[in-house]
Structure 1
C-alpha cells in the first residue's frame, strides 16, 4: 500500500447486460480444503517502523489444498528485512521434518507492468504434500518507516476464504497507546492492556465463510475487520504529507507545463481543465518508479516529473494541481480509496487510501479529477472513486474529509432503431445511438486499447442476434470526450425473430433479460452483494415493420429505489413502435435489498412490463 499506487484501471466496453445463472450456496465447513491456525505479533516502533512475527499452521484437508500450498511467496521491499525463523512439515502419523534450506528461495520480485520496484521475494516449497499433511512456518519481517510517516496504522480483515480458520490470535504492541476501531467483529475478543500499549485479538470459535457459484459481479461490501493506529486524527497521519505536497506546489512550473498553462489562458475554465488533462495525457505515461527510494506518499518534485515524462498517481495528481493553480483554478490534492468497493473510514490512517486525485472547483462545481485515466469527460467522476470518503489537502496543509457523491442516473444511451422483417424472419436493421457519460468513456478506452475495428465489432454484436454485413459510421474517439457521441449502424440480423410453428416471436432481450440474473439470485439463495456499475438511464425507441403483431402495448410504469421503468407504444399498419426509459439508480445492491419483498415486487412489475413487448409476429 505504501507504494501508493501502482493500480491502473482497465475499462472494458459493455453495451449489454450479462446475466448470471449460477446456483449459490454457503459452502459447508466439511468441504474446506485447508484448515489454518495463525498467530501474529506486530510491534510498532517509535519511528513508525514495524516488526511482525507470524506463525502459520495449515492442515491439508482435501486434494485442492495441496495446490494452494504448492509455493508460498512473501514479497517485501528492498529496504525491509525478512527472515524465515522455522519451517517444517508433518506427514500423517510421522514426526515433523524441517524444510531443507534448498526449498527456501529468495530472488528479486517481478516488476509490475507499469512500474519499477526494488522488491525481493522469498518462496517456500514444501515437498510431498498430500491430504493430512501439516505444515508450520514462522516468519519475521521488519518494515522500515516510510518518508514523513510518523504514525502507525495497521488493518486486519477477514473476508470470505477457502481456508477454514480454526484459530486466530493477534497481539499488537507499541511504544505508545494503541487506538483501535472495528466493524462486524463480534466473533473476536479484543482486550487492551491497562496502559493501552498492548492489544490482544482472539477468534472465539472456528469459522469458515466461503460462497460457491456466486455471480461474477458479486462481493461482500462489509467484512469483519479491525484497525489499529497511534491516533484517530487524520491530521496526525497526513499533516506532514500535506505540508510536503504544498512545498512542492510552491515551486515554479517546469517549462512544458508552464507553456501549456499559457497556451490555455484564454479558454473558459472548463476548457482549461480539459487542456491540462490533455497535456498530461499527451506528455506523461502512468508508471510508478521506486528504484531510487521507497517514496511512500511523497511525490517527485515538479521538475523531476517533467524530466521523467511519467509518474504514478501522486506524481500526476500534484502536477495537475500545480497547473490548475497556475491557471487560476482552485485545486487541491486529495487521497482516496479507489476501486469498486470501499471500506468505511474506521481510522483515517495511511493504510486507508490507495490513490491520489485532484479536487478542483470549476464553473461553480466540484470536479474530482484523476489524471491517471486514459479518458476524460468534463465534469464526470469515474465509478471507481464515486460515493466514498476522500481526504483533501488544503493550501494551509490542513486535511479535511469530504464525500465524493454518487453520479446521478442521467441518460447515457439514447437509441433509435428500425428493423424491417422479411418473410424468413431476418431483419434489415439501421440504428443510431448517442452515448454520454461513462459508456461514452468506455468507447474511447476500448478504441485506445484494442483499436476501432474491434470496438465496431463489439458494437455490432449488441444490435441483434446473428449480425452480418454490419457497417458502423462514427467519428474517431479522443482522450477528451464530450457528451453526445453518436454512432450510426446498418446491418442484417439473420435471427431477428424466433421461429414458432408457422409464426415468429419477437422479444426485446435488453429489456426482458435484464431481470434474469436477479431472479436467479433470489431463486438460488445467493448471498453476496452485487456491483451494478455507474447509475445511468437508457432511452430506447424501436420501430418494427414488415409483420403483423398480435397485441397492443398498454404502457406501464415501475418505480422503486433501485430502478425506474417507463414503457409506451402503439401498433402500426405493418408493425409496432415502442419506447422505454430505464433508470438504474444505484452502484451496488446489497443482499438485504436483493432478498427483500420490495425488490421481488419490483422484479415482478418490471417483467410484466417487459412482457408487453413480447409479440407473436405474422409475416
Structure 2
C-alpha cells in the first residue's frame, strides 16, 4: 500500500492576509478537448486473478486534446501480463493506419519517491495528431491474485474529466455470482444475468462534466461509481490477512524493539506511546519495498523490518502494534482509506483501503496512530484519517468496521498582538502566539522539512505586506509535540495601514477575507465542495495604539452549524483593543450547503460583524 502525502505539511496560519479567490464553473460542452468511447470486459477467475480487455476510442476536438494524447502510459506490476492487441489512428477523411511497433515502448517504470518497485510501463505515441484525428487501441492485462487474496473486488469511478464521454460500456463476468453496489449511478443502466455471473454496465447518454478554475482546496465528495465483488462482508476479504498479521505479531520482538519497550516500561501510558513512536521515528524511515510485488497486503516479519530499518505503512504499523502490545498497551492493526477525500464503503474489499494504521487504547481513550508521519501529537488523529470508516483486526482474526471521528474544534491558535502606529502609518508589532494541535504539528513538520529559519520567515510574513526587522523567539520543535507551544515575535510593518486622502484605513484581513471568499463562491456559481481543514478555534486579541480610531467596536455574535464567531471591543488608555474567537466546526463545506439560504445568512452576519473592526485612523 502506498503512502499518501502528509496533509498540508508546511506552516499555514492566518494572521492578517487573505488568500486570493479563484472563480470556478462548469466547462462549456463546446470546449471539450476530447470525445471518448470506451468498452471494457473484465473476467474474474476462481483464483481471484483478473483478465481485463479494454478498447479506447478518442476523437480530438480541440488543439489541447493533442497534448492530452501525446503519450499514453500504462503502469502495471512486474508479475502482471500486459499486451497491446491493436492500435491505430485515423486522420480526417483518411483510412485507419496501424501504430508502428517502434511507437510502442515498454520499460521499467520510475521508482516512487519513497520506495522500490519493479513495475513496468508501456507507452503508446501516436504520430501526426491534429484536430479531428481519431485514435483507437485495445489492451489486455492479466493480474494474478496477491497472496492470501481469495475474493475479487473491482471499482469504477466517473469523476470530472476533460474528455466528453460519448459512450461507455462494461461487462463483468466471473466463475461465481457477482455482488455489486453503486452511488450516484442514475446515468448508467446495470443489468445482471439470471445466474448472477455476468453484469453489464451501460452509460445511458453522452455526458461532459469538467470544472475550470477550481480552488486548490476544492474537490467532489461524491461521484458516480460502481463496485463489484465476490462478497460484501469484510471478513471474507480480510480474514486471511488478519490471521497472517496475528501470526507475525505472535513472534518475539527483535532486539532493538525489545530494548525500546524495556526503556519505556515505567512511563505513564501516554508517555509510553510517545516514547515508542519516537523510537520508530529515530530508527526507521518510511520506504516501501514493493519489488517483491507478491506481498500485497502482507507485511514483512518483525525481524525483517528491524533488519531493514525502513518499511511501508503495513510494516511500520505491525511493528508498532507489536511494541505497544509488549508494553501492555492494547493495540490492533487497522486498514483505512487515507487522504483528504474518502469515499463511503460500498463493498469492504481489498481495493477500499490504501493505508495501514494502529488502533490503541491509551488511558481509557482510543488513539489512531500512524507511524509513517513525521510528527506525533499525543491523542491527536491526523487529518487525513479522520471522519471515516476503518477496518480493525482483532486478536482472534476477526475484522470489524469502526468509525474514526472528526476532531473537535479545540483552540489551536492564540494570538495576542500589539500594534503601535507612527505618524507615517508604519507600525511596530509585538506578538505572542500559542500553537496547539494541527498548527503545531504543521510547525514541527515545516521545521523538519525546511529548517527553522525558513519557518520563522514564514511566521513573519503572515503578519503583513511589508514586514521588516522581524525577530522570532521560540524553543526548538521535535517529533513529539505538545499543546501550548509559545512563539514571541517583534517586527515592523511598513504598510500597516492603507493611505486615504485625509487619513488611513485599518482592516483585519484574517477576519474579513474568509467571508469574502464565500461571497465570491456564491456569486460566481462555483460548484465543488471545499476543504476548510481541521475543525478548530482561533482566539485573537489585537491592541491598536498610536492613532485616533474612528469608532468603538460594540461587539457581535454569529451562530451556525458551520462557524461560530464572537467579537468584543473596548477603548482603554488611548488604545483600541478587540478580541474575537472564530470556531470552524466542519472540515468540508458541500456545494449544497454553501448555496443554501442559511449559509448565506451566516455569511452576511459574519461580514457585518467583521465590518465593525474596519477603522479610519488619524495619526
**What's the TM-score bracket when you normalise by the shorter of the two chains?**
over 0.9
Q: CA deviation at 1:463?
A: 1.5
State the distance in 2 between where 1:445 and 1:408 align. Answer: 22
Please tell me whether the aligned partners of residues 338 and 353 of structure 2 are also in contact (alpha carbons under 8 angstroms): yes
Q: CA deviation at 1:18?
A: 5.0
State the distance in 2 between where 1:580 and 1:277 align. Answer: 36
State the distance in 2 between where 1:7 and 1:427 align. Answer: 43
Please tell me whether the aligned partners of residues 4 and 339 of structure 2 are also in contact (alpha carbons under 8 angstroms): no
State the distance in 2 between where 1:18 and 1:325 align. Answer: 47
The one of 2, 7, 22 equivalent to 1:5 is: 2
Q: CA deviation at 1:572?
A: 2.6
Residue pairs, 1:225-374, within 5 angstroms: 225-374=225-374
Q: CA deviation at 1:20?
A: 4.5
Deviations 1:163-218 (A, max 9, x none): 00000000000000000000000000000000000000000000000111221211
* 1:538 equivalenced with 2:535 (yes/no): no
Please tell me whether the aligned partners of residues 6 and 287 of structure 1 are also in contact (alpha carbons under 8 angstroms): no
The one of 15, 30, 33 equivalent to 2:13 is: 15
Deviations 1:323-374 (A, max 9, x none): 0000000000000000001000000000000000000000000000000000
State the distance in 2 between where 1:39 and 1:584 align. Answer: 45
What's the counterpart of residue 393 of structure 1?
Answer: 393
Deviations 1:441-470 (A, max 9, x none): 000000000000000000000112210000
State the distance in 1 between where 2:393 and 2:2 align. Answer: 18
Greater mean alpha carbon deviation, residues 510-519 or residues 323-332: 510-519
Please tell me whether the aligned partners of residues 19 and 516 of structure 1 are also in contact (alpha carbons under 8 angstroms): no
* 1:213 equivalenced with 2:213 (yes/no): yes
Please tell me whether the aligned partners of residues 335 and 353 of structure 2 are also in contact (alpha carbons under 8 angstroms): yes
What's the counterpart of residue 509 of structure 2?
Answer: 509
SS at match of 1:88: strand
What's the counterpart of residue 96 of structure 1?
Answer: 96
What's the counterpart of residue 154 of structure 2?
Answer: 154
State the distance in 2 between where 1:178 and 1:579 align. Answer: 60
SS at match of 2:334: strand
What's the counterpart of residue 606 of structure 1?
Answer: 606
Deviations 1:70-109 (A, max 9, x none): 0000001110010000000000000000000000000000
State the distance in 2 between where 1:462 and 1:135 align. Answer: 50
* 1:375 equivalenced with 2:375 (yes/no): yes
Please list every run of 5 or more consecutive structure 1 residues that lacks an aligned counterpart in the other structure. Answer: none
What's the counterpart of residue 114 of structure 2?
Answer: 114
SS at match of 2:295: coil
SS at match of 2:344: coil
* 1:477 equivalenced with 2:477 (yes/no): yes
SS at match of 1:294: helix
SS at match of 2:378: coil
Cα distance change, pair 522–19 in 1 and its aligned pair in 2 (3 A): farther
SS at match of 1:323: helix
What's the counterpart of residue 465 of structure 1?
Answer: 465
SS at match of 1:455: helix
State the distance in 2 between where 1:397 and 1:349 align. Answer: 16
Q: CA deviation at 1:501?
A: 1.0
State the distance in 2 between where 1:93 and 1:286 align. Answer: 54
Q: CA deviation at 1:23?
A: 2.8
State the distance in 1 between where 2:514 and 2:456 align. Answer: 23
State the distance in 1 between where 2:571 and 2:320 align. Answer: 55
Q: CA deviation at 1:25?
A: 1.9
What's the counterpart of residue 520 of structure 1?
Answer: 520
Deviations 1:21-49 (A, max 9, x none): 33322112221000000000000011111
Please tell me whether the aligned partners of residues 534 and 586 of structure 2 are also in contact (alpha carbons under 8 angstroms): yes
Greater mean alpha carbon deviation, residues 453-462 or residues 569-578: 569-578
What's the counterpart of residue 558 of structure 2?
Answer: 558
State the distance in 1 between where 2:573 and 2:299 align. Answer: 67
State the distance in 2 between where 1:14 and 1:24 align. Answer: 23
Cα distance change, pair 207–20 in 1 and its aligned pair in 2 (3 A): farther
State the distance in 1 between where 2:225 and 2:482 align. Answer: 41
State the distance in 2 between where 1:18 and 1:208 align. Answer: 34
State the distance in 2 between where 1:438 and 1:21 align. Answer: 24
State the distance in 2 between where 1:354 and 1:366 align. Answer: 21
Please tell me whether the aligned partners of residues 41 and 171 of structure 1 are also in contact (alpha carbons under 8 angstroms): yes
State the distance in 2 between where 1:529 and 1:18 align. Answer: 20
Please tell me whether the aligned partners of residues 18 and 509 of structure 2 are also in contact (alpha carbons under 8 angstroms): no
What's the counterpart of residue 438 of structure 2?
Answer: 438
Please tell me whether the aligned partners of residues 239 and 397 of structure 2 are also in contact (alpha carbons under 8 angstroms): yes
What's the counterpart of residue 125 of structure 2?
Answer: 125
Q: CA deviation at 1:12?
A: 2.2
Please tell me whether the aligned partners of residues 412 and 537 of structure 1 are also in contact (alpha carbons under 8 angstroms): yes
Please tell me whether the aligned partners of residues 60 and 131 of structure 1 are also in contact (alpha carbons under 8 angstroms): yes
State the distance in 1 between where 2:5 and 2:247 align. Answer: 27
SS at match of 1:262: helix
State the distance in 1 between where 2:573 and 2:363 align. Answer: 51
State the distance in 2 between where 1:432 and 1:504 align. Answer: 26
* 1:595 equivalenced with 2:595 (yes/no): yes
What's the counterpart of residue 618 of structure 1?
Answer: 618
State the distance in 1 between where 2:609 and 2:448 align. Answer: 39
State the distance in 1 between where 2:311 and 2:238 align. Answer: 21
What's the counterpart of residue 77 of structure 2?
Answer: 77
What's the counterpart of residue 177 of structure 2?
Answer: 177
State the distance in 1 between where 2:587 and 2:77 align. Answer: 36
Deviations 1:111-159 (A, max 9, x none): 0010000101000000000000000000000011101100000000100
Q: CA deviation at 1:557?
A: 0.3
State the distance in 1 between where 2:445 and 2:18 align. Answer: 20
What's the counterpart of residue 26 of structure 1?
Answer: 26
Please list every run of 5 or more consecutive structure 2 residues that lacks an aligned counterpart in the other structure. Answer: none
Q: Give TM-score, length-normalised by structure 2.
A: 0.99
Q: Which runs of 4+ in 1 moved over 4 A?
A: none
SS at match of 1:496: coil
